[in-house]
Structure 1
């Protein structure tokens, strides 16, 4: 069992080193293509959204409460609310929605 752990750690090490070192060795000049630059600009945002969205829906007892909080959070953020206000309103929406959904 312990040998498997060391193999897993070695594989994770190799993957993370490859991901970090490969771009530095391949791309030595600045990237000038607008499409590639735009794509690389949005990768962190898309990755964060893909990791966060399922957690928003499944973190509550009822997925409907999570969906309502998501809609409320997007609306408040769109209206210019800061991160604290958005989080507080989302928590309140989940609390109220789960009171009525039980």
Structure 2
């Protein structure tokens, strides 16, 4: 059983290494395709969004509170509130909405 763990770790390390090294070694010249450039430009933002949005919704006891905090945070960020203000507002929205949900039940 212990040897399997080491095999799994080795395979995971090899795949992770290959994903990072192969593009650097295979692509020698600058990418001139505008579609591919724009696609690669937005990949980190999309990846971060895909990992963050479910975590925001599932981090609270009630998913409705997470959705309300997400909407409130987007609105606050749209009006140029700083990161600290947005985070405090989202925490406050989650606190109030979860207390209201508990009170209504």
TM-score normalized by the length of structure 1: 0.97
Q: What SS does structure 2 have at the residue aligned with 1:72? A: helix
Encode CA deviations 1:43-75: one digit per residue, 9 max, x unaligned.
000000000111111111111000000000000
Q: What SS does structure 1 have at the residue aligned with 2:100? A: helix
Aligned to 2:40: 40
Shift of 1:21: 1.1
Q: What SS does structure 1 have at the residue aligned with 2:60? A: coil
Aligned to 2:72: 72
Question: For this pair of structures, how many residues does the alignment match?
Answer: 102
RMSD over aligned CA atoms reads 0.7
TM-score normalized by the length of structure 2: 0.94
Aligned to 2:17: 17
Q: Once superposed, which parts of structure 1, at least 4 consecutive aligned residues long, lie more than 3 Å away?
A: none
Q: What SS does structure 2 have at the residue aligned with 1:22? A: helix
Instruction: Provide the rounded CA distance (Å) in 1 between the counterparts of 2:33 and 2:67.
Output: 38
Unaligned runs of 5+ in 1: none
